[in-house]
Amino acid sequence: MKVFKFGGASVKDANAVKNVAEIIKCYPGDKLVVVISAMGKTTNALEEVAKAFFYKNGDAKEKLQVVIDYHNTILTGLFEDKKHPVFEDTNGLISALDWALEDEPIKDYDFEYDQIVSVGELLSTKIVSHYLNSVGIACKWVDARDIIQTDNTYRDARVDWPLTEAATNETAGALLNTHSVLITQGFIGCTSENYTTTLGREGSDYTAAILAYCLNAESVTIWKDVPGVLNADPKYFPDAQKFDKLSYYDSIELTYYGATVIHPKTIKPLENKKIPLYVKSFINADKEGTTISDAPMQPHLSSYIFKVNQVLVSILPKDFSFIAEESLSEIFSIFTTFNIKINLMQNSAISFSVCIDDTARLDELMGELKKSYKVLHNKGLELITIRNYTKEGFDKVLTGKKILLEQRTRNTAQLVVLPENE
């Protein structure tokens, strides 16, 4: 039994959905659990709906209509019969969301976000499952909320592993006895109170790993619009090279530092059971991609990871005293309160500097820190991470940039830089 994951780009339009069907047809003898993300940029569009609904800063229903029109275009390209059950299924999901937008928010923004944005995955999987059945690929639609059990940390829910493993085997495991292909949603789960949660942006990869772990899958394949895991973003490095093999350790390191090809939480469940992960291209499905397993990483190939829209925050005591353990404890607690992840940190005797993503809560964070400390910050920065760095690598990435902070270990260098035109 294999687990496949198809992201938004792989189901962005009718032709893309047809391509997914062609890929699945290439595995006629396998049991497949297929995890699918929201179509195209639907998650972004539904985020706009959630903001308009909660913050009243726009017409939520008008923004929802954009989502409806987009999916209707895909439906029209896949189903000639306008009485096909897929139209009733998708209209039911949209209508339920439309009615919910008539009411006032009942909890905080993160809760409302999960109830609204999760509809994207429900729509995509309904459409794909109906299409697969229509072209002779018998499949069964499964609601991930019946399987992935979580706590109530909305937008970044933590998986309850014992409950999830039991539910996965009871539901998906049993269905695999009678069905060769199961279609389910990535990204979403459910609380014990039956509220929908999400696992964090790009969380569909993580869903695939969870299901593979629980079902003891032979492998997981993530289908992307790139040929595999590359050593750099082609936007910055047109000559980026593909890794043929990566170890679990190296892939965790890459995702930790910001490589976006795989969700950071994906690797650990697979490593625990030594389940290999393949990253392959849905454009050239017959090509070898990247294999992530126990095998060592390709030697002497540097990796370059860029994170843009970064903020460098420097925190200093107001009384010129040392930054001691109690100070660091208080500072970390403040960052945790605002749910802000630190991408890099460096401390000296009387200062503590961190690099973070620019966030809507930055002003609130600054205000809280300034109650006890002197705080300085620079915006519009880049965080560059180079693994297996070389002098040539430094020269390549630092052209036209000014270093504000630098940190090196044996294998990894991190640089917070300001583009010189800023």
Per-residue confidence at 9, pLDDT binned at 50, 70, 90?
Answer: very high
Where are any strands of DSSP class E within 171-276?
Answer: 181-185, 188-190, 196-198, 219-224, 245-247
pLDDT of residue 199: 95
From residue 190, how far is each of 36, 61, 379 by CA, in Å? 17, 25, 37
Least confident of 194-198, 297-301, 320-324, 397-401: 297-301
Q: Does residue 149 register a pLDDT over 80?
A: yes
Structure tokens at 307: 């994170």
**Closest alpha carbon to 177 in 403, 372, 341, 1:** 1
pLDDT of residue 72: 97
Where are any strands of DSSP class E within 101-159?
Answer: 140-141
> What average pLDDT does range 364-377 have in this prediction?
94
> What average pLDDT does range 375-381 have in this prediction?
94
Neighbouring residues of 42: CB distance < 8 A, sequence distance ≥ 6: 8, 67, 70, 71, 120, 123, 124
> For 238, what's the count of Cα atoms within 13 Å in the CB-facing half-sphere?
0
Identify any residues that bridge with 49 across adjacent strands, giving them in sequence order: none
pLDDT digit string (tens) for 211-223? 999 999 999 999 9
Neighbouring residues of 47: CB distance < 8 A, sequence distance ≥ 6: 113, 117
pLDDT of residue 297: 61
Residues recorded for the chain: 422
Q: How open is the CA angle 224-236-277, to the nearest 5 degrees?
A: 30
Q: Give yes or no for a contact between 393 and 289, defined as CB atoms under 8 angstroms apart.
A: no
pLDDT digit string (tens) for 27-46? 998 999 999 999 999 999 99
DSSP per residue, 25-52: HT-TTS-EEEEE--STTHHHHHHHHHHH
**Closest alpha carbon to 120 in 54, 56, 64:** 64
Dist. CA 142–CA 169, nearest whole Å: 13
pLDDT digit string (tens) for 164-186? 999 999 999 999 999 999 999 99
SS3 145: helix
Q: Give yes or no for a contact between 22 and 57, defined as CB atoms under 8 angstroms apart.
A: no
From residue 148, how far is each of 5, 122, 271, 353, 367 by CA, in Å? 16, 14, 19, 38, 38
For CA atoms 77, 83, 85, 87, the dihedral sign is positive
Neighbouring residues of 315: CB distance < 8 A, sequence distance ≥ 6: 323, 331, 351, 352, 353, 354, 369, 373, 374, 375
**Closest alpha carbon to 160 in 121, 191, 137:** 191
Q: Does residue 422 register a pLDDT over 60?
A: no
pLDDT digit string (tens) for 53-87? 999 988 999 999 999 999 999 999 999 999 999 99
Q: Does residue 207 register a pLDDT over 70?
A: yes
Please state the CATH superfamily assignment of the domain spanning residues 303-419 in this structure: VC0802-like (3.30.2130.10)
> For 101, what's the count of Cα atoms within 13 Å in the CB-facing half-sphere?
27
DSSP per residue, 280-295: EESSSTTS--EEEESS
Could you name the CATH architecture of 2-224?
Answer: 3-Layer(aba) Sandwich (3.40)
Domain boundaries, the chain: 2-224, 303-419
- What's the first-to-final CA gap in the chain, in angstroms? 52
SS3 246: strand
Q: Does residue 264 register a pLDDT over 80?
A: no
pLDDT of residue 70: 98
Q: Give yes or no for a contact between 71 and 38, defined as CB atoms under 8 angstroms apart.
A: no
What average pLDDT does the structure give for the chain?
93
Identify any residues that bridge with 305 across adjacent strands, giving them in sequence order: 385
